[in-house]
Amino acid sequence: MKKIVLSLAIIAGLGLSACAPMNQQVTSPTPSSIPTPTPTVVPAKDLNWIADKVYKNETSGNPTLLVVWNDREEFASLGIGHFIWYPAGNRGPYTETFPGLIDYTKAQGVPIPAWLTNRPARSAPWINKAAFERARNDPEMQQLRSFLQQTMNIQANYMSERLTRALPTMLAQVAPQDRDRVLNNYQAIAKTQRGLYPLLDYVNFKGEGTSPTERYNGQGWGLLQVLLAMRPVTAGPQALDEFARAAEEVLTRRIANSSPARGEAKWLPGWRNRLNTYRAQALLSAY
């Protein structure tokens, strides 16, 4: 497995900056009382590393798992972040992210498979998992898998853009008295060495926490809920450990709130393994 699929020279040739901006202009309205976050960038060396970490988290380094349709799900999961793509007429509770990746990739001037460019609809071409499995060895599927394997850094850039858009929205959804705490916790992690990895990975893993459909018993499990569950911290190793602790608390609560028929408890060991990659000992020991 190639650690970095796109070299920095290729990224430059595609017109991408060496750093992915983490605080771009946000056009959606937010309350004027929301503080403006300090602009943050992802250094190119960290972007490469983040792309590889997320890839391993989602696929265990197996490129065939860049294109999957999991059991008991109504959508395909694609790319290093297993971006969601719903078929026509089927919209579940989770935020669809794959069409946004295609739009982002096009905007960077990066070629995409012709069949994706020429599709008249933005929905997935497979009506269900059975149709997806039948198409697994089709030329279009092979092209899709190759495209996703060759654009891992583009996908990581897309994840950073998603996080950029999410922060003002998250702040707009919390009570005014909690906004400073949420922002301070966010910035403490972002200013810590390699702290952008847990932020990017978690928002891709469990969402921003702002969608009203991503709730059990009225309680979400996204990045916003983790930041709210954190105790106040300053930048440094303690911020990473506190983020991981709060994330485990939030995901354990999700399981407690979920329907027993979903059997979500079986996922907790794997979730904990992923959260452990956010801890200071895992992130900073070889930095």
Contact between 42 and 160 under an 8 Å Cβ cutoff? The reply is: yes
Predicted local distance difference test score (pLDDT) of residue 41 = 62
Mean of pLDDT values over 80-105: 90
Instruction: Please report, for residues 64, 188, 210, 236, the alpha-carbon distance to residue 233 in angstroms, rounded to integers and kept in the order given.
Output: 40, 7, 23, 9
- Rounded to 5 degrees, φ, ψ at 163 are -65, -40
**What confidence tens digit (pLDDT) does each residue in 164-185 have?**
888 899 999 999 999 999 999 9
pLDDT attached to residue 37: 52
Instruction: Tell whether the model's pLDDT for residue 23 goes beyond 50.
Output: no
pLDDT of residue 65: 93
At 32 the pLDDT is 52
Does the pLDDT value for residue 286 go beyond 70?
Answer: no
Residue with tokens 């109504």: 74
- Per-residue pLDDT of 196-246, as tens digits, reads 999 999 988 898 999 898 999 999 999 999 999 999 999 999 999 999 999
Instruction: Give the residue, 61 or 35, on which the prediction is more confident.
Output: 61
Model confidence at 143: pLDDT above 80: yes
Average pLDDT over residues 64-91: 91
pLDDT computed for residue 33 by the predictor: 59
Pairing label, strands 41-42, 67-68: unpaired
pLDDT-based confidence at 44, cuts 50/70/90?
A: confident
Note the pLDDT of residue 204: 84
- What is the arithmetic mean of pLDDT over 108-112? 93
Tens-place pLDDT, residues 237-281? 999 999 999 999 999 999 999 999 889 999 999 999 999 999 999
Residue 46 above 50 pLDDT? yes
Task: Reduce the DSSP state of residue 57 to 3 states and report it.
Answer: helix
Q: What is the pLDDT of residue 25?
A: 34
CA distances from 167 to 60, 183, 207, 287 (A): 29, 8, 12, 27
Q: In this predicted model, what pLDDT tens digit does every residue of 152-165 receive, in sequence order?
A: 999 998 988 888 88
Query: Which distant-in-sequence residues (6+ apart) come within 8 Å of 243 by Cβ?
Result: 185, 189, 198, 202, 226, 230, 278
Mean pLDDT across the chain: 84
